[in-house]
Structure 1
């Protein structure tokens, strides 16, 4: 009996943790960070305040855990080693599609709206979201681009700046549209055409053939690939 109870305890604890996270996501998105109380979350998730404090340490810890889970779900595909095994353009298309889909999906953008609205009053909310969301995404793209540059498939002298260019090209005007409440409706073919155009533009800047042709960027950096 004791062994069964002990072996089952972590499962129950994890289920309770997930129930609290699910409730927190629902209520934070509906009410915002400042207007949400832990009692609101417990009333939806069940359990007790004591359990919530034990698992998350309080409201700030709960919000951070919720954000981290959202970002892990979003970036999970980019953590996959399969990306490295794909041809360059196919891999870039996968990454671009993940970022673009994240922009036009209302639930994810609703979370960003909450962060933007609450950050002036709760700076830690903005800092938490940026560190585990946009900053992490930028780092992952930067690491991938640097790796491909070392392989000779790209000509990237500054991986962080190249990541900024890539993400900006992918998000384009759509991020601002969705933040402003516009409903972006594109067919899969329209998305693919847009992303193909985006990748064409990116590879014109960072494709090794551009440097070999003596582009301005090549001249500025001596025409050499990063070692």
Structure 2
């Protein structure tokens, strides 16, 4: 969808970014502020590029994600994926998955509903386009590298989310019941962007500690 925007607009907005300090992992302090849960993907390493297959420039299916280190006392696990570099006041939500089993686990490739897949029936919340599905990375041309935060949270109580919860409902639940968290960052630069990666990429941030 955003690939049709003129690159000039992306260039004009390249300094406008929500920021890593606005992602759920850094907004909500849980488990003493440490990333006790380890989040990984078989498709990309931490702070490495997300393959185009999982973006709007490819099939747009959801990537595989796995997590370990879920602590005892967990009643439910939750995943939220946000674009920290969206040119918006708050990060763009790409996926919300709630009511995951209270243990180490994983989402296989293509697990979430998308424009190309029915998914595997997970309880998904609303992305920023108000759809209960995976919203593939789709940064504006010319806007530079975007960082996508795959954030996993353990909750000591399983909230009754009902239908399709949005970001605010998730943040409220995390503030009330979150006990541990972890974060994996994947990046994506639209291939037709003209900004050199070393100029376009925002400064690296240590996500193991919440930002002030």
TM range (shorter): under 0.3
Structure with the higher fraction of residues in helix conformation: 1
Which structure dedicates a bigger proportion of its chain to strand?
Answer: 2
Question: Higher RCO, 1 or 2 (CA under 8 Å, sep at least 6)?
Answer: 2
Between structure 1 and structure 2, the one with the greater Rg is 1
TM-score w.r.t. length of structure 1: 0.21
TM norm structure 2 = 0.22
